[in-house]
């Protein structure tokens, strides 16, 4: 809160300084117009002295201010009003060196501000010249007090300390006015440079007192007092709760020990049940092909004439049992994917070489993207999915394999033109050992789903709009 109040104070200070700078720029512009009027109207009138006196009157707002119409070359005073310049006298050498010489060298004389010494006085001279009178200029001089603070100012800026320098840095010898004193202002200090034609002034401002007001300044201490009261009340409540918590912790520890012991028995029983369920499923799935193989071998022994037929049946049954064992091993195996960048066309070409399309089946590949996946796993996934698509089109058809970018996901779709699937069994397609094929193991899509999930992806199957099925595999984009 204190930092917030300080930032508000600083913002108000900068706002006040910006307003002060606007006033200074307007004052310089007004002074430039007045000095230009002194030059123009005095030299253009037949009675120079009378017109000069009238034009100089609005500028002579203080007893320490002088106004003069001067010749630039040679440098001398033509007409003057005030304590520091006299008619017909030469200009002070410091003023000639620093200001008048500059006007003489420029084709477009700017407004110029110069600090110079004249006897025991330190004066500020503001000089202005017109292009139409290149050899003449008007000067306003005013005595400076560089050793003490100016009287407190009234009005909107009485709450500020202000230093103004006739330079871009706070140089003591270039101090024009101070309401604090010749030393550095108390912080925080806002600094900004005023530029108007040839005049460059540094304006420094700092606050005499908090600009945000007393309430805002005291708000952090009020909040602290309220916070301490709340903290005391909370501490009392926490102590009471802590005692209750210690009592409850003892009871929880005793209950936790009992629950852990019960959990051990439950986990042991669940493991035994899971092993028994898996053994039952595997035994059931293996019993059919192995039983068929045993019967076929027995018939081959008793019927030598049909031995080849029965041995062929036994071979198929044993192959099915071996395939079931292989699929089950693949499904249960734990492995960590090895990710790499894979070109989609290259991956599909490799799969189609290992599982070429049957007769009367047209295969099209659409899209070109780079996948971030495990090449071995994706080869097995696409092999299984494409093989299923072939089997869904026993009389041939069209197989489309495509890839698209969907936001942060890469979508691979395999569409066949077969007869699709019954929507009633959609939720069972990825269940282990569920199959609609006579010689299927029921692990194909379950394996595909597991391999896709290992790579952080998802898979789903839908019926096509007109025909066939669509298998959609979504992986995180490369």
Do the domains spanning 2-207 and 335-476 agree at the CATH topology level?
no
Distance, in Å, from the CA atom of 433 to the CA atom of 441, rounded to the nearest integer, reads: 6
CATH of domain 335-476: 3.30.565.10
CATH class of the domain at 2-207: alpha beta
Token pair recorded at residue 232: 């005391």
Each residue's pLDDT expressed in tens, for the chain with a length of 478 residues: 777 767 777 777 788 888 888 888 899 999 999 998 998 998 888 888 899 999 999 999 989 999 999 888 788 899 999 998 888 888 888 777 766 666 656 656 678 888 988 888 899 999 988 878 878 889 999 999 888 888 766 665 677 888 999 999 999 889 988 888 888 888 788 889 988 888 999 998 888 776 655 555 566 667 777 788 888 888 888 888 888 888 888 888 888 888 888 888 887 776 566 556 556 656 655 666 677 778 778 777 888 787 887 788 777 777 766 766 666 666 566 678 888 999 999 999 998 888 888 888 999 999 889 999 989 888 888 988 998 888 888 888 999 999 999 888 999 999 998 888 777 776 777 776 666 666 556 677 888 888 888 889 999 988 887 788 899 999 998 7
Distance CA 261, CA 278 (A): 26
pLDDT score at 13 = 77
How far is Cα 18 from Cα 21, in angstroms, rounded to an integer? 5
Ordered DSSP codes for 92-136: PHHHIIIIIHHHHH-SSPPPEEEEEEETTEEEEEEEEEETTEEEE
H or E element, residue 77: strand 76-81
The CA distance from 212 to 102, in Å, is: 46
Contacts of 157 (CB under 8 A, 6+ apart): 16, 20
How far apart, in whole angstroms, are the C-alpha atoms of residue 33 and residue 18?
23
Q: How far is CA 373 from the centre of its chain?
A: 30
How many Cβ atoms from other residues are within 10 Å of residue 25's Cβ? 15
Backbone angles phi, psi at 71, to 5 degrees: -95, 130
- CB 113 within 8 Å of CB 82: no
Using the CB atoms, write b or e for 313-340: b if 16+ within 10 Å.
bbeebbebbeebeebbebbeeeeeeebe
Q: Rounded to two decimals, what is the model's pTM?
A: 0.45
The residue ranges of DSSP E strands in 323-408, in sequence order, are 340-343, 361-366, 370-373, 397-406
Tokens encoding 197 = 């034609």
Q: How is the chain split into domains, by residue range?
A: 2-207, 214-331, 335-476
């Amino acid at each position: 809160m204190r930092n917030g109040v300080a930032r508000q104070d600083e913002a108000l200070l900068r706002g006040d300084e910006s307003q002060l700078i606007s006033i200074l720029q307007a004052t310089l512009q007004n002074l430039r117009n007045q000095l230009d009027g002194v030059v123009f109207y005095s030299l253009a009138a037949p009675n120079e002295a009378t017109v000069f006196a009238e034009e100089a009157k609005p500028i002579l707002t203080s007893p320490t201010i002088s106004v003069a119409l001067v010749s630039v070359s040679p440098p001398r005073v033509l007409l003057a009003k005030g304590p520091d310049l006299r008619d017909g006298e030469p200009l002070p050498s410091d003023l000639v060196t620093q200001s008048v010489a500059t006007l003489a060298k420029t084709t477009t004389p700017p407004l110029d501000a110069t600090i110079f010494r004249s006897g025991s006085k330190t004066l500020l001279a503001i000089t202005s010249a017109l292009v139409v009178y290149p050899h003449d200029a008007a000067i306003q001089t005013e005595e400076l007090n560089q050793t003490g603070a100016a009287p407190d100012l009234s009005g909107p800026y009485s709450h500020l300390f202000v230093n103004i320098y006739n330079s871009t840095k706070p140089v003591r010898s270039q101090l024009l006015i101070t309401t604090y004193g010749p030393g550095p202002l108390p912080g925080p200090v806002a600094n900004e440079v005023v530029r108007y034609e040839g005049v460059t002034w540094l304006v420094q401002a700092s606050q005499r007192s908090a600009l945000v007001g007393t309430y805002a300044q005291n708000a952090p201490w009020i909040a602290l007092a309220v916070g301490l009261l709340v903290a005391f009340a909370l501490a009392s409540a926490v102590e009471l709760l802590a005692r209750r918590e210690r009592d409850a912790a003892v009871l929880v520890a005793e209950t936790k020990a009992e629950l852990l012991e019960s959990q051990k028995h439950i986990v042991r029983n669940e493991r035994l049940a899971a092993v028994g369920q898996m053994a039952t499923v595997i035994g059931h799935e293996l019993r059919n092909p192995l039983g068929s193989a045993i019967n076929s071998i027995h018939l081959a022994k008793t019927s030598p004439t049909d031995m080849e037929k029965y041995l062929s049946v036994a071979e198929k049954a044993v192959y099915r049992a071996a395939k079931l064992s292989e699929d089950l091993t693949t499904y249960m195996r734990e492995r960590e994917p090895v990710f790499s960048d894979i070109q989609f066309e290259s991956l599909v070409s490799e799969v189609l070489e290992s599982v070429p399309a049957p007769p009367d089946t047209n295969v099209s590949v659409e899209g070109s993207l780079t996948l971030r996946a495990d090449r071995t796993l994706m080869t097995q996934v696409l092999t299984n999915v494409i093989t299923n698509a072939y089997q869904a089109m026993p009389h041939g058809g069209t197989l489309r394999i495509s890839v698209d970018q969907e936001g942060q996901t890469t979508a691979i779709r395999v569409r066949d033109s077969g007869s699709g699937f019954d929507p009633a069994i959609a939720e069972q397609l990825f269940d282990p050992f569920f199959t609609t094929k006579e010689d299927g193991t029921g692990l194909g899509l379950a394996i595909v789903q597991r391999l896709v999930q290992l790579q952080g992806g998802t898979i789903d199957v839908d019926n096509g709009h007109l025909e066939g099925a669509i298998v959609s595999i979504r992986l995180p984009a490369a």
